[in-house]
Chain A
Amino acid sequence: MATARLSQRVGAGGGSIIGGRVTLALDPGALRRLASGREIVLVSGTNGKTTTSHLLAAAMRSTGSVAHNASGSNMPDGAVAALAQDRDARFAVIEVDELYLAVVADAVDPAVIVLLNLSRDQLDRGAEVRSVAAALSAALIRRPRMTVVANADDPMVVWAAAPAHRVTWVSVGSGWSSDTMTCPRCGRSLDTTVKRWQCGCGLARPTASWTARDGAVHTTGRRVAVRLRLPGAFNLGNAVMAIAAAAELGVDPHQAAAALAEIEQIAGRYKIIRHGRHEVRLLLAKNPAGWAETIGLLDEAKALLVVVNARDADGRDTSWLWDVGFEDLRSAAVMACGERAADLGLRLSYADIPHTTVEDPLAALDLLPPGKVDIVANYTAFHQLRRRIGRGIG
C-alpha cells in the first residue's frame, strides 16, 4: 500500500509526519477526484483523532461501506491511500493531522469536520497552537455547506470553529486545560469554572447540543447509554464526538452506540498482548494532555514502562515531560525507557518517583518480575514497540 511505502521513507513508523511540511506534496487533484461523489468526514485535533475516527468508521459501517485510513497515517498521502483502496465506499472517514486539515478540507470538500481539541503537541514543528487554529478557522469559513462537529469545552477549538457556517457543539467534559488558560482571541487570562469558561472580550463556552456524562450521551431530552470497552472518560468524550458526527450523516445515536460497544482496541492501543513472561497493555500518550488522561487509566498494581523518543514525528524537544503530572504515578514499579530515557528518568527523579532507567524497552521488560505491565509510549516509540511485540494485532 502506498501509505506504508511513504511512511517507511520518512522513517516515522506507521505514520508520516514531516517537520513543518504543510503543503501537499501529492497532486491535490488526485485527492479531489478520489473524494468526489461520496460523503466525507474529516477527524482532526491534537489528541484522540485515531480513536475517534475508528469509532466513527464503526458507527458509519452500520449504514454503509466506509473508507478509512485505519493505520493512523494522517498526512494527505494517508487520505489518498485510504480513498484509493476503497473506491466504491459511500462514506469516507479520514483522520487528518491538524496542520494539514485546511489543505485537505479544500481538496475533498467534506460533509462534516470533527474538531476534537487543539493543544500543544510538537511545538517544534514550527507552529504555535493559535496560528494552527487561525488557519483552520479560515478553511472552515470557506465551506458554507459543511458542518463542523466541535468540542465546546476547548477554548481554542471554539475560537477556531465559531465563525463556521454550521456548527454542532459537543461537550466532552475533558479535564485538561493548562494550554488554554488565556483567551485565544485576545490573550487575556480566561475566567474558568468547572462547567464553563468565558472571557471579557465575549468569547465563551457555547451551549452544547450533545453532552457526554455518566457513561451516556445526552441530546435534546434523550439519553443514550454508551457502553465502551475502551477505558477512560476521554474515550467517552471521543465516542460522543463520533456519535454526534454520525448523526449528521443520518445514523441514529442508538445504532451508533451499539456499533461502538464492539470495539476493544484502536490500532494496537489498549490491546493486551502476551509477551514472554509478561502480559502487556500498550497505551499511547504523546503530550501533557494525553498523559493527563492516561494516568487515570493506569493500574496501580501493575508495573509501568514509559517509553519516550524525540524523533521528528514526536517533536525533538522533550520539555513537555515537565508538564506531565508524573508526581501522581502510583504504579508498583516504574521503568524509564526509550531514546530519551535519560530525560524521562531525570523528570521522574525530580517527581520523587523511584524508577530504573533502561534505554531499550524490551530489556527493561526483561528486568521486571513476571506479570502484568502497562506500557505508555509516545508516537514513534509506540510504533517501534508494536513492530517488536505487537505483531499481528490491530
Chain B
Amino acid sequence: MLLPDVLGTYSDAGNALILAQRARWRGVRTRVLDITATTVPPASCDIYLLGGGEDGAQVFAADWLARYPALRHAMSTTAVTLAVCAGLQILGQSMSDRTGHTYSGLGLLDFTTIAGRRRAVGEVLSTCTIPGVGQLTGFENHQGISTTGDDLPPLGWVTRGVGNGTADRSGHRGDGACTGRIIGTYLHGPVLARNPALADHILKQATGQPMPPLDLPDQRAVRRTYLPTRHPTSRGTPATDARISSVDVSQHRGVVDSGSDLAGKTIRRAP
C-alpha cells in the first residue's frame, strides 16, 4: 500500500485488506506493507496499491513517486498495480487543477486528466474489459475528466455514472484504464469489496496461481444491492424472501467453498 497516510481519504486501504484476506483464505501467505511518505518504497512487492486523496495530497504523492525510479520500473515490469482515483491520475501523463496549472504524472499510462466543472458523485456501473470479471460496481467522487490514449483500454465501459467523463470514437464511455500490469479506476467502495472477481484477477496475475471460488453470503448480498436485478423486484412477498446470513469465521477461514451457501439460513422479516 503506497502512501496510505497521504492518499487515504476514501478508504481505499480496504483494497489491501481484501487482497490479503482472499489470498490467505486460499492458503497463500501475504504481507501488507504500509509505505508511508517517510519510508523508501521497496521495489520487490508483488502488488502495489494507490488510493484517492484531495488535490494537495495528490501533488505531493506524484512528487514522492517520481523520486523512486526503481518503484516505477517495478510497476511497469514485474508487479501488478491497482490505482484508484487520484492514484490513477498520478500514473498518467499529466493532470491539471481547477486553476489550469498542470502537473506531470509518472507517465506509466497514456492517460491525461483535466479538472471538470462539476464533481462526479454517485454510483457507477461498468462492464469490465478484463474477460471473466463481469460487471463492476463502485462509488465515484471526483472532479477529473480523463482521456485515454488510442491503445489504452479503460477498465470498464460505463453503463451508469460518469467514470472518465469522455467517450471514444464510437461514443462508448470508459472508466479508468487497464494494461497487463496496471489497473486504474475511479471506483471507490472500496472497489475490491464490491467486485471480488477483480480482486481475484489481481491475485491470479500476481501469484500465477488459480484462485478457486470463495463464497461469502454478505458478498452476494452486496452484489445484489448494487447491481441491477435481472428479475422484477420481489417487494411485498411474504416473510420468506429476505435474508439472514450467519458467518462463523472459524468455518470459512481457509476453506474454499464451491459456491454453496456458507450458512444457509434464510429468513426475512419486513421492517
Contact = CB atoms under 8 A, between A and B. Distances in A.
B269 A129 contact: no
Contacts of A358: 244, 269
B11 A343 contact: no
Interface in B156-212: 188-190, 193
Given A182-B57, A319-B10, A360-B271, A189 B5 contact: yes
Contact of B222 (A130, A320, A343): A343
A67 B270 CA distance: 41
Contacts, number: 148
Interface string B37-77: 11000000000000001111101100000000000000000
B245 interface: yes
Nearest to B251: A354
B141 interface: yes
A288 B9 CA distance: 11
B60 A179 contact: no
A342 B218 contact: yes
B54 A128 contact: yes
A350 B17 contact: yes
B242 interface: yes
A188 interface: yes
Nearest to A362: B271
B21 interface: yes
B246 interface: yes
B188 A352 contact: no
B141 A124 contact: yes
A300 interface: no
What is the predominant secondary structure among interface residues of chain B facing chain A? mixed
A178 B1 CA distance: 15
Contacts of B13: 322-323
A123 B222 contact: no
Nearest to A123: B141
Of B8, B13, B56, B253, most buried by chain A (CB within 10 Å of CB) is B56
B21 A350 contact: yes
Given A189-B36, A342-B224, A346-B219, A182 B243 contact: no
Contacts of B221: 341-342, 345-346, 357
Contact of A357 (B12, B121, B247, B249): B247
B217 A347 contact: no
A274 interface: no
A261 interface: no
A336 B6 contact: no
A99 B8 CA distance: 22
A62 interface: no
B10 to A, nearest CB: 6
Contacts of B249: 349, 352-354
Contact of A319 (B14, B36, B253): B14
A178 B249 CA distance: 28
CB-CB nearest 3 A-B residue pairs:
A322-B14, A187-B56, A342-B221
Contact of B37 (A123, A189, A355): A189
B133 interface: no
B114 interface: no
Given A188-B60, A322-B190, A343-B222, A356 B244 contact: yes
A318 B246 CA distance: 21
A356 B18 CA distance: 20
Interface string B118-143: 01011100000000000000010100
Nearest to A187: B56
A274 B221 CA distance: 32
